[in-house]
Chain A
Amino acid sequence: MAEKKEKLTIVLMHGELDYALAAFILATTGASMGMDVTMYFTFWGLNIIKKNDARIGGKSFIEKMLNFLNRGGAKRARLSKMNMLGLGTYMMKGMMKKVGMPSLDEFIQMANGLGVKMMPCSTTCGVMGGLSEETFRPEVSSLAGAAFFLNEARQSSVTLFI
């Protein structure tokens, strides 16, 4: 094995179930391959790591409205295609369960157990209704900015933007 741990950095920009699954499959596999994995969540990707039962916060009316319409939580993630008002997502989840594939919630817990670092983008948190650390799941570490991500990516042998 290499003396220094290889690094894998993943940006998740999308908030849909399919994108998030791809990101977490690669993150858990990378960690299992002995890589140091950092996941960075921005824009709609933030929804994936919000608490499933987060309070609808926000300082202004507009912020509250946005957080009401954009609640987030891994359990609420829908498919980017063939959602069909939730029916498609429901069926896909059923198919995943049938073949023994973990749910997105379980993938997030597994990634955490394997030492994957999960960081929300501080700018998007600020723009999208002043989200704070309390909005996110306990698996998530501190907020970070673009410089932090680029510094991680600079040292990574693999960087993915999903």
Chain B
Amino acid sequence: MKADHELDCVGLYCPMPIVKTATKIKELKVGEVLEIVADDKGIKLDMPAWCQATGHECLGMEEEGKEFHVFVRKKHD
């Protein structure tokens, strides 16, 4: 999957990946895709839940070793 922006959250635990994603997504334009890289397993359920609550689109997740790559499309300002 191709992303317009990347956010490195490797080594960070809940709630930091979510807090950082919420801050970072403000910098994106509507329609752009953010790739979040994290190694906290909680992200597997947390990011889809965050998307559901905020209305952004969770496009999918790729696992690479211990890292999770989550793709989120910004849906609104």
Contact = CB atoms under 8 A, between A and B. Distances in A.
A binds B: yes
Contacts of B53: 6, 33-35
B12 A28 contact: no
A1 interface: yes
Interface in B25-53: 50, 53
Contact of A110 (B14, B19, B76): B19
Given A1-B76, A28-B15, A29-B19, 15 more contacts: A29-B14, A29-B18, A31-B22, A32-B23, A32-B50, A33-B50, A33-B54, A35-B53, A99-B11, A100-B11, A100-B16, A101-B13, A101-B16, A114-B19, A114-B22
B60 interface: no
A28 B15 CA distance: 7
Interface of B: 11-16, 18-19, 21-23, 50, 53-55, 76
Interface of A: 1, 6, 25, 28-29, 31-35, 99-102, 110, 114
A114 B13 CA distance: 18
Given A1-B54, A1-B76, A32 B13 contact: no
Contacts, number: 41
Main SS at interface, chain B = helix
A101 B13 CA distance: 7
Question: Which of A28, A33, A102 is most buried by chain B, counting CB atoms within 10 A of its CB?
Answer: A33
B22 A100 contact: no
B55 A33 contact: no
Contacts of B54: 1, 33-34
A28 B23 CA distance: 11
B55 A102 contact: no
Contacts of B21: 32
Question: Which of B12, B22, B23 is most buried by chain A, counting CB atoms within 10 A of its CB?
Answer: B22
Nearest to A33: B53
Contact of B19 (A1, A6, A32, A100): A32
A110 B18 CA distance: 13
A99 B50 contact: no
Contact of A102 (B11, B16, B18, B76): B16
A-B interface, 3 closest residue pairs, ranked by CB to CB distance from nearest: A32-B22, A1-B55, A29-B15
